[in-house]
């Protein structure tokens, strides 16, 4: 069993000095942790960042917790092990990075189960994350495990913590981020600049009643009928126009390659032609685009010229761009030349892969980024803290998923619906891996069955994260 003293000693090599958890009658402690996996093949491959993905492994975590009064509850967390996105290794390949993340999950399970202090989930995560990172840095993997991949692997464990806590309190966990539950201010987690500010200021207790759905147009997805070599024929839409009518879409996220300016420009213009015709048939007058380069642009000049050409060729398409996501390399420190001030004057530019901690968010601001993409797959605690910092700094916010099905989509949707300023919800699993959503549609039709372009997020008020 890990005690506070031994746990602190285990972190000495990191230079970490964990603070003592402050006692609170509402605190909980971990009793046991179990994990399991599910694997699915994609209905159709998704292409992003120059890679094609056709399968997914879900990591599911069940965590039993006890409060100070002796009551117990089981929390559940689920998340895709998005190894291609979080660890784009040139040497290990898909199977190699997935194998390392699966082994790391086993070690994270052990560390989480051994931590026996009482606390709030945000506090417990604050103590555990350094140990998770240290475990990933231990000798063994043939190349260093990126921090982003560690966060993705740990995220279902963190989700299970928050889910269990809400259930112990008999409420949605979003009602459990008040000063009654988390007494410390944010300076403990974000530094002295946040002294006197509490998490409750930056999180809604109740979800937005409904939110628009962002539909993904992958780099290999058919836009027009002529783009289809052979139909799948499973009853689901296959062209963009068919999806627009099927779900009543008004928000389209366009994946771009970043290494061929003419192709990227023409891709957006093709989407605009298709959408304009489909929206006219539906009588829709307003719709929006987000553009995601997955860090493939060679430099910021590429992005600026791309936006200039879109504005020249189609002013209407340019006006519909709500934001641009992670245009250049995720390693901001190594690419300080890619400042975004000029591009951000044209539209919000947000970090995604770059965002792994407060330091990266602060550096992004210095480099001209004006927004941040929050993701449940980086951990519930981290997403909440980064949302608080971004709101404090008046940054644009969006929530993206990791082709999340089932419980992980409910988690992601709940996060989006409870963070002020988030405009829409991304939900890609319904396109690429609908098999993983089977059974969830009947339980949460407002989340999984979309007809008018909106998710009914107002239903996400159940205990914990609201999924199980």
Tell me: the pLDDT tens digits for 161-217?
999 999 999 999 999 999 999 999 999 999 999 999 999 999 999 999 999 999 999
- Asked whether this chain's domains 4-174 and 201-459 adopt the same fold, the reply is no
In angstroms, the Cα distances linking 196 to 6, 182, 315, 394 are: 31, 13, 45, 18
Summarised one tens digit per residue, pLDDT across range 104-128 is 999 999 999 999 999 999 999 999 9
Name the residue among 56, 35, 34 with its Cα closest to residue 45. 56
Helix (H, G, I), strand (E, B) or coil at 322: strand
- Domain 201-459: what homologous superfamily? Enolase-like C-terminal domain (3.20.20.120)
Distance, in Å, from the CA atom of 427 to the CA atom of 421, rounded to the nearest integer, reads 18
More confident position, 265 or 20: 265
Residue 165 in tokens: 């806590």
Helices then strands, counting H and E runs in the chain, come out as 17, 12
**Does residue 299 register a pLDDT over 70?**
yes
Which pLDDT belongs to residue 461?
98
Mean pLDDT of all residues in 255-281: 98
Summarised one tens digit per residue, pLDDT across range 324-337 is 999 999 999 999 99
Which pLDDT belongs to residue 396?
97
- Mean predicted lDDT score pLDDT of the chain: 94
CATH architecture of 4-174: 2-Layer Sandwich (3.30)
Which pLDDT belongs to residue 101?
97
**Does residue 9 register a pLDDT over 70?**
no
Which pLDDT belongs to residue 14?
43
Which pLDDT belongs to residue 147?
98
Which pLDDT belongs to residue 90?
87
**Does residue 3 register a pLDDT over 70?**
no
Residue 267 in tokens: 């891709």
- Decide: residue 233, CB within 10 A, 0-12 exposed, 13-18 middle, 19+ buried: exposed
In angstroms, the Cα distances linking 411 to 269, 313, 352, 422 are: 33, 39, 18, 15
Q: Tell me the pLDDT band of 2, cut-offs 50, 70 and 90.
A: low
Summarised one tens digit per residue, pLDDT across range 344-361 is 999 999 999 999 999 999
Angle at alpha carbon of residue 97, lines to 115 and 113, rounded to 5°:
10
Which pLDDT belongs to residue 6?
52
Which pLDDT belongs to residue 4?
52
Ramachandran region, residue 255 (left: φ > 0; alpha: ψ -120 to 50; beta: rest): beta
Distance, in Å, from the CA atom of 420 to the CA atom of 395, rounded to the nearest integer, reads 11
Summarised one tens digit per residue, pLDDT across range 375-389 is 999 999 999 999 999
**Residue percentage of the chain with pLDDT more than 70:** 95
Owner of token pair 């009793």? 31
Summarised one tens digit per residue, pLDDT across range 131-171 is 999 999 987 768 999 999 999 999 999 999 999 999 999 99
Contact 33, 62 (CB under 8 A): yes
Name the residue among 377, 412, 362, 385 with its Cα closest to residue 87. 377
Mean pLDDT of all residues in 54-59: 97
Domain boundaries, the chain: 4-174, 201-459
Which pLDDT belongs to residue 49?
84
Summarised one tens digit per residue, pLDDT across range 416-465 is 999 999 989 999 999 999 999 999 999 999 999 999 999 999 999 999 99
Distance, in Å, from the CA atom of 457 to the CA atom of 405, rounded to the nearest integer, reads 16
> Dihedrals φ, ψ of 418, to 5°?
-110, 0
**Does residue 1 register a pLDDT over 90?**
no
Q: Which helix (H) or strand (E) holds 106?
A: helix 93-114
More confident position, 370 or 18: 370
Which pLDDT belongs to residue 15?
42
Q: Which residues of 286-318 are buried (b: 16+ CB within 10 A; e: fewer)?
A: ebbbbbbbbbbbeebebbbebbebbeeebeebb
Distance, in Å, from the CA atom of 265 to the CA atom of 303, rounded to the nearest integer, reads 10
């Amino acid at each position: 069993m890990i005690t506070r003293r031994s746990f602190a000693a285990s972190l000495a090599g990191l230079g970490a000095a964990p603070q003592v958890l402050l006692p609170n009658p509402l605190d909980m402690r971990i009793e046991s942790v179990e994990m399991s996996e599910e694997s699915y093949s994609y209905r159709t491959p998704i292409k992003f960042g120059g890679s094609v993905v056709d399968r997914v492994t879900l990591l599911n975590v069940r965590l039993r917790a006890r409060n100070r009064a002796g009551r117990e509850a089981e929390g559940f967390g689920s998340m895709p092990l998005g190894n291609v996105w979080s660890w784009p290794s040139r040497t290990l390949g898909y199977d190699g990075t997935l194998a390392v993340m699966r082994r790391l999950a086993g070690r994270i399970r052990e560390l989480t189960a051994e931590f026996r202090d009482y606390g709030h989930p945000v506090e417990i995560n604050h103590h555990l994350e350094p140990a998770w990172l240290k475990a990933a840095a231990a000798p063994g993997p043939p190349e260093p495990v990126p921090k982003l991949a560690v966060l993705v692997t740990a995220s279902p464990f963190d989700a299970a913590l928050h889910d269990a806590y809400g259930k112990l309190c008999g409420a949605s966990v979003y009602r459990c981020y008040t000063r009654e539950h988390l007494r410390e201010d944010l300076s403990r987690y974000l530094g002295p600049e946040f002294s006197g500010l509490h998490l409750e200021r930056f999180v809604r207790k109740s979800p937005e009643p409904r939110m628009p759905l962002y539909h993904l147009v992958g780099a290999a997805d058919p836009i027009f009928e002529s783009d289809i070599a052979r139909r799948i024929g499973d009853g689901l839409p296959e062209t963009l126009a068919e999806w627009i009518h099927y779900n009543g879409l008004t928000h389209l996220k366009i994946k771009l390659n970043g290494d061929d300016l003419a192709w990227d420009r023409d891709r957006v213009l093709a989407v605009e032609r298709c959408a304009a015709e489909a929206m006219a048939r539906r009588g829709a007058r307003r719709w929006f685009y987000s553009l995601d380069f997955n860090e493939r642009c060679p430099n910021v000049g590429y992005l600026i010229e791309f936006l200039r050409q879109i504005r020249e060729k189609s002013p209407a398409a340019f006006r519909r761009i709500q934001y641009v996501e992670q245009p250049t390399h995720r390693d901001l420190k190594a690419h300080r030349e890619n400042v975004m001030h000029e591009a951000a004057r044209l539209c919000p530019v947000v970090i995604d892969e770059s965002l792994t901690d407060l330091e990266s968010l602060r550096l992004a601001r210095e480099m001209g980024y004006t927004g941040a993409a929050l993701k449940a797959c980086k951990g519930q605690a981290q997403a909440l803290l980064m949302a608080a910092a971004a709101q404090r700094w008046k940054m644009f916010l969006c929530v993206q998923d990791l082709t999340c099905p089932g419980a992980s989509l409910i988690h992601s949707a709940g996060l989006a619906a409870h963070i002020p300023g988030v405009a829409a919800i991304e939900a890609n699993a319904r396109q690429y891996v609908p098999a993983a959503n089977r059974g969830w549609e009947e339980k949460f039709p407002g989340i999984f069955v979309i007809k008018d372009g909106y998710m009914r997020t107002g239903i996400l008020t159940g205990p914990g994260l609201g999924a199980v």
